[in-house]
Structure 1
């Protein structure tokens, strides 16, 4: 059976090494193409774009039909285009997350230079004001940049883009201080020609037109929108105040429009690639930023200028979402600049169908951005509530339901006079808490973030889903199997997460327990929190399905059921085109292999455990290698890790992962979760041990009615193996994932409430069968 489990998993990988539609493919360099124009800004969001606030950008988004036709006509004819023409662009959202929670302009430009996360020193509260290169042609404060980046754990190399462009003979023109950072070499010397950023947009357009005639790569710093009115170039776009933001947005829009018109009026607009991307936040609060693109290299799945596409990247697999770390590889791929694979972690930006056209694409992106912004402030509060709700439930069970709980007074006596009602309430509460995580995922089926009070609307939606799942799990108590609640909560949780992973992880995006775009961790597949939920729920489902078979003596059938659930769960979690999870498969393979053996009635020996561990290692290696064999632009982090190992970069990755793992031990939110779980275990441990072996003397004897908890093991023989499997999976998940202690903590917060519900439900069955005669409630006077 174990061999079948491992063999089946390996067989599933046979077809994954070929190309997969994970995202837009990178365009190959083509000598017939025109130059690449990169326009960087900061603090410019999709919410800022409107016909009045940003007329130039709005025109490029909304007038796509006429503009695209003019663009194609002028390009094919080799004409220069009219002075009033601009380019039609595909919009997108840029995830600017760098080393810190918010990103400064210098951080964004350093990410373009390095192709990785890199940031300026943040010992000062404000972002550095960028300054034009001096007479020596070097970027000011370059040594400070490199020192800061060297102290970070992302293996970034400042100057990588400039060095690669020089080595390839690429002609480069940079305009503005941020652009100089992007194209400097490792020593801070600006590669190619540098032009100071003109204050007049018309002069900027003239400079861009001149550069297009002599350069392959033109990089422009269009300034930034900031909370204090200061741009990245150090210029003042109006005085701070109520109108400062609008004035800065208008100034950036004018510069972007000048660049777009210069390209449209250039010698080959149809062959020129233009990428406009906001690389930084406007302040300390992170947001998704605006990106715009057009040109042959960016038109990987539909013409970027036809008005129906949005920008996309394999690094996110979410149409409309790209990352700043994607910018460098987009430029180098388009221009055919050779860059070593280990330099960058990004994927080339391309296009994807949007299902809308014109400015409607922008409205859809604004919705995505507002969703992410609305979810962010609610996450910490939700986790605190989840932990406290579990604590209140278990503390009440252990302290409030004790036979000697005098402190409850009359309420305690009332509870002890209604034991069946108490048990039913525990069943309902346990199932409700266990279904809360998946309810937060299902809540994203409803656009709660569009409401005037999104937090309250989200609460109502989550409560509705919890009520529905709880009703199904607790329905018809006289007919349902003992582990029915376990199966319902586990099945719904695992099923929803699996279906979401297969269909693109859109429900998890900006979910309370899902993937947060502004964190730039995972945008697709199954992240660490989802893994803890998915793995725990899969075991719960397998246990619920196998338990009736074991009770009927059909252990082989039970083992097959467990193995099938394990194979499906591991495939969904680990396949690069689905879950793309590197740290999850080892625990899933080991845990489900042990559960399969125990379901079959096989005694565990050290040799069998060793075989299980070897099989898990083979599955993980096969997953990673199969992903590595795909084209570089289609690899997930699994294949990129193999590439790092082959090129000697694994130490930086492992160091960062270990650092993130141990950092969770001091994270305030992690401390709340971890402390809560420890309290649960300690508080529940003693009374449950007493109920297990000595029910007559247990503090919960008035509920157990002299029925030992060990009897539950006979009625539900798969519960014990399920606990072993869950502990194994979550323990290995703790070691293999950078979320550290949050992995087992999250799994426990799902499993424990439902296990309590099963125990209470079992006691209801025992009492209803008349296993013990009712005893008068005690007031606690005889307790010792």
Structure 2
């Protein structure tokens, strides 16, 4: 036996080596499949037919409620005969005043104004006329606009629209000169490759990078001359559609005009016959008059517009705080009735203000410079499109976004402050005395279900209820209750089964949402409001944090057996990364980097490997490699199909990536001290308490979960602009469930049943 031992050891060594080779091959295959999935092309949109020119009429404050067949017939007709969408005008703050809106239209990027941004936008609505230089027109104090925007990290190059058209004219002249030198027929240059402005606000959008304007006039009487001079004409009718001072909304008061009469029916104060029922909103005469004035101006533009020109009417800014979505109406040759979308939103029915800049350039055949963040609008033809349907759809989208913005702060603060208590209860569950342990366990499960309920709340249209806030919180409580009950049934309440129920529901819900179009979180605090313009589709940072925490828990606590202990976590991890990073799914570049790194570290610990510095560096290198390969492959796709991952690679190549990184770092730093900071701090304190009283952790599954969740929180908080929100939401779902999985000490009398280690190897310490 002793003589054969060396051969036996040698055979075991060879077996291990063959296993390592097989593992390497499978890992390489998984990585190849992942990068291929991340690079799958999106749906390409057909190019729009060209037109001789385009007129953009900007009406700050224009809302869907202003479109009426009697009061504003021109707007109503455009909504029915053209294509329409809801537009986000978000620039540098939660609401955009006219000065910033006009500047952003000319820059094609988010820009800010010089005047103070007050809640009623009074300062930024009083726009001065451009000055006559004797050789044309120029915006007064243009350098002040340049200086104030240089302080922001969006890289807005004011005047990009005018400069792009000037470069197109120069390119035409160069091509004509070269053709003439070669003795070939020279193409006839377009003398109108420029931007004309009518009205004070339009001057800010029509100015070039030096503040000069090719053509400017104060009134619509000069519109024919403007169209004769330039192919792109921007019109400011001089109207801001807003409410009177007494009715104007602000950032602190809820001015809801719909409600129920407070007087009880049948009392002495009223009778059933006299009961007015639901209170109808009163039309603000100031707002109605402004809308009618804007409609009259639009009618004048339509009368002067040649048949070969296109017309865009858009609410280019808010009239006051809070911000809102605004209608955009697009008509002209080649534009069929229907909806609109763009590459920057990736969602039907939504576009952004900067898309108008790119669209104007595309209509006249000019190149879109890298400084323009928007993308040309794509028309989604709909044979059943009507004005009434367009207004109803736009009003519903605006109401959903506004209601979401209204409930979000309370949701975050409630989640955070309640979470502080839950984190301490989780510590009590793991290291405290037996008293109240069952209650602590139930509370941990219920609280972990709240973020999951937050995602599911976007399925029903809660914002259409008479009392949207009550409807939303009712859905949150109902969703959390259903999931808690599901995790407390006789066959799910023992051991780690509640963890698998809640984490499985979270991962499955978000995965289904991504595959089906990423609709649900858009209308809940777990996503971004459409008016914020941060992410219209894909996986937002909040939902990513919940999804990543759920995946980590599933990887660690699913009772894998045999070979599945190796391949199960790998398969689940690869599928999860595809959901997070694929261009047609999550489109989350920071999430891709985070989940790959966290997943590798988690799996290594789960398999009993020691996490040395080399292993950590290797995990980071692999994550960065997947990120880089996916980014390059996305960048190689057609520009109209690229996600922000591919566009980030483009920014690296053109040297603007530093501004993006600085802006994201600044945004992340700005989250310190906000709502989700406190639940993060509470989780850290609770973890320290547990560590001091019950270290070390001896089971691979629990240790792997700790490593994975910590990596998601730390890396995700550093690489995403949501900052402290990432560890906050990670803790909201993961910390309580991890405490349930760990359970009480074995030497502490417990009132809970636990499963044998053979069926749930990491159920207890």
Match of 1:258 in 2: 300
Question: Is the counterpart of residue 549 in structure 1 residue 567 in structure 2?
Answer: no
Do the aligned partners of 2:38 and 2:578 also contact (CA within 8 Å) in 1?
Answer: no
Match of 2:106 in 1: 113
How much is the aligned-residue C-alpha RMSD, in angstroms? 2.9
Separation in structure 1 between the aligned mates of residue 620 and residue 424 of structure 2, nearest angstrom: 38
Distance 1:48 1:433, change over 3 A: same
Q: CA offsets per residue over residues 469-508 of structure 1, 9 Å max, x none?
A: 122222124x666222111211111122122222222111
Distance 1:208 1:17, change over 3 A: farther
Match of 2:204 in 1: 181
Separation in structure 1 between the aligned mates of residue 526 and residue 453 of structure 2, nearest angstrom: 10
Separation in structure 1 between the aligned mates of residue 361 and residue 523 of structure 2, nearest angstrom: 31
Residue 123 of structure 2 aligns to a residue in which SS?
Answer: coil
Q: By how many angstroms is 1:26 displaced?
A: 5.0
Separation in structure 1 between the aligned mates of residue 457 and residue 745 of structure 2, nearest angstrom: 31
Q: By how many angstroms is 1:649 displaced?
A: 1.0
Do the aligned partners of 1:48 and 1:249 also contact (CA within 8 Å) in 2?
Answer: yes
Match of 2:123 in 1: 127
Distance 1:122 1:575, change over 3 A: farther
Q: By how many angstroms is 1:361 displaced?
A: 2.3
Q: By how many angstroms is 1:520 displaced?
A: 1.4
Q: By how many angstroms is 1:94 displaced?
A: 1.0
Separation in structure 1 between the aligned mates of residue 56 and residue 677 of structure 2, nearest angstrom: 46
Match of 1:742 in 2: 725
Distance 1:526 1:6, change over 3 A: farther
Q: CA offsets per residue over residues 41-81 of structure 1, 9 Å max, x none?
A: 1100112222233222112334xxxxxxxxxxxxxxxxxxx
Distance 1:583 1:26, change over 3 A: farther
Match of 1:622 in 2: 629
Distance 1:354 1:606, change over 3 A: farther
Match of 2:374 in 1: 346
Distance 1:214 1:155, change over 3 A: closer
Distance 1:396 1:429, change over 3 A: closer
Match of 2:151 in 1: 151
Question: Is the counterpart of residue 313 in structure 1 residue 342 in structure 2?
Answer: yes
Of 666, 678, 694, the residue aligned with 2:681 is 678
Q: TM-score, normalised by structure 2?
A: 0.81
Do the aligned partners of 2:555 and 2:569 also contact (CA within 8 Å) in 1?
Answer: yes
Structure 1 residues not aligned, in runs of 5+: 63-87, 198-203, 231-240, 405-415, 694-709, 772-784
Match of 1:73 in 2: none
Do the aligned partners of 2:161 and 2:208 also contact (CA within 8 Å) in 1?
Answer: yes
Q: CA offsets per residue over residues 1-23 of structure 1, 9 Å max, x none?
A: 4663454233333365564127x
List 4+ stretches of structure 1 deviating above 6 A. Answer: 397-404, 761-765, 768-771
Separation in structure 2 between the aligned mates of residue 449 and residue 767 of structure 1, nearest angstrom: 43
Of 478, 499, 507, the residue aligned with 2:512 is 499
Of 277, 283, 287, the residue aligned with 2:320 is 283
Q: How does 1:166-177 map to 2 (within 5 A)?
A: 166-169=166-169, 170-177=193-200
Q: By how many angstroms is 1:744 displaced?
A: 1.3
Match of 1:95 in 2: 88
Q: CA offsets per residue over residues 81-105 of structure 1, 9 Å max, x none?
A: xxxxxxx211111100011221111
Q: By how many angstroms is 1:511 displaced?
A: 0.8
Q: By how many angstroms is 1:398 displaced?
A: 6.3
Match of 1:76 in 2: none
Separation in structure 2 between the aligned mates of residue 402 and residue 722 of structure 1, nearest angstrom: 18
Distance 1:471 1:620, change over 3 A: same
Residue 84 of structure 2 aligns to a residue in which SS?
Answer: strand
Q: How does 1:642-721 map to 2 (within 5 A)?
A: 642-666=649-673, 668-669=674-675, 673-683=676-686, 685-686=688-689, 689-690=692-693, 717-721=700-704
Do the aligned partners of 1:5 and 1:593 also contact (CA within 8 Å) in 2?
Answer: no
Do the aligned partners of 1:473 and 1:484 also contact (CA within 8 Å) in 2?
Answer: yes
Match of 2:242 in 1: 226
Do the aligned partners of 2:159 and 2:211 also contact (CA within 8 Å) in 1?
Answer: yes
Q: CA offsets per residue over residues 335-391 of structure 1, 9 Å max, x none?
A: 111243x21111111122569520212211211110110111211111111122222
Separation in structure 1 between the aligned mates of residue 430 and residue 664 of structure 2, nearest angstrom: 43
Distance 1:47 1:765, change over 3 A: farther
Residue 445 of structure 1 aligns to a residue in which SS?
Answer: coil
Q: By how many angstroms is 1:651 displaced?
A: 1.7
Q: How does 1:10-409 map to 2 (within 5 A)?
A: 10-14=32-36, 17=39, 19-21=41-43, 24=45, 27=48, 30=50, 33-62=51-80, 88-123=81-116, 125=118, 126-128=122-124, 129-136=126-133, 137-169=137-169, 170-191=193-214, 193-197=215-219, 204=220, 207-213=222-228, 215-222=230-237, 223-227=239-243, 242-263=284-305, 266=306, 269=307, 271-296=308-333, 304-306=335-337, 309-340=338-369, 342-352=370-380, 357-358=385-386, 359-395=388-424
Q: By how many angstroms is 1:289 displaced?
A: 0.8
Match of 1:474 in 2: 488
Q: By how many angstroms is 1:689 displaced?
A: 3.8
Separation in structure 1 between the aligned mates of residue 162 and residue 128 of structure 2, nearest angstrom: 18
Q: By how many angstroms is 1:218 displaced?
A: 2.0
Distance 1:398 1:120, change over 3 A: same
Residue 487 of structure 2 aligns to a residue in which SS?
Answer: helix
Q: By how many angstroms is 1:190 displaced?
A: 0.5
Distance 1:488 1:650, change over 3 A: same
Q: How many pairs align?
A: 664
Match of 1:592 in 2: 599
Separation in structure 2 between the aligned mates of residue 104 and residue 403 of structure 1, nearest angstrom: 54
Distance 1:124 1:732, change over 3 A: closer
Match of 1:704 in 2: none
Match of 1:449 in 2: 463
Higher mean alpha-carbon deviation, 429-438 vs 587-596, is at 587-596
Separation in structure 1 between the aligned mates of residue 622 and residue 299 of structure 2, nearest angstrom: 58
Q: CA offsets per residue over residues 234-279 of structure 1, 9 Å max, x none?
A: xxxxxxx94111111111122123223433xx3xx2x422211111
Distance 1:34 1:229, change over 3 A: farther
Distance 1:161 1:397, change over 3 A: closer
Q: CA offsets per residue over residues 276-302 of structure 1, 9 Å max, x none?
A: 111100102101011111235xx6xxx
Separation in structure 2 between the aligned mates of residue 18 and residue 497 of structure 1, nearest angstrom: 21
Residue 444 of structure 1 aligns to a residue in which SS?
Answer: coil
Residue 138 of structure 2 aligns to a residue in which SS?
Answer: coil
Distance 1:355 1:723, change over 3 A: farther
Separation in structure 2 between the aligned mates of residue 8 and residue 355 of structure 1, nearest angstrom: 44
Q: CA offsets per residue over residues 554-604 of structure 1, 9 Å max, x none?
A: 2x3112111111101111111222111111122211221223233333444
Residue 127 of structure 1 aligns to a residue in which SS?
Answer: helix
Residue 213 of structure 2 aligns to a residue in which SS?
Answer: coil
Q: How does 1:762-777 map to 2 (within 5 A)?
A: 767=751
Distance 1:601 1:395, change over 3 A: closer
Do the aligned partners of 2:110 and 2:154 also contact (CA within 8 Å) in 1?
Answer: yes
Separation in structure 1 between the aligned mates of residue 513 and residue 346 of structure 2, nearest angstrom: 13
Do the aligned partners of 1:500 and 1:507 also contact (CA within 8 Å) in 2?
Answer: yes
Residue 127 of structure 2 aligns to a residue in which SS?
Answer: coil
Separation in structure 2 between the aligned mates of residue 745 and residue 510 of structure 1, nearest angstrom: 20
Residue 583 of structure 1 aligns to a residue in which SS?
Answer: helix
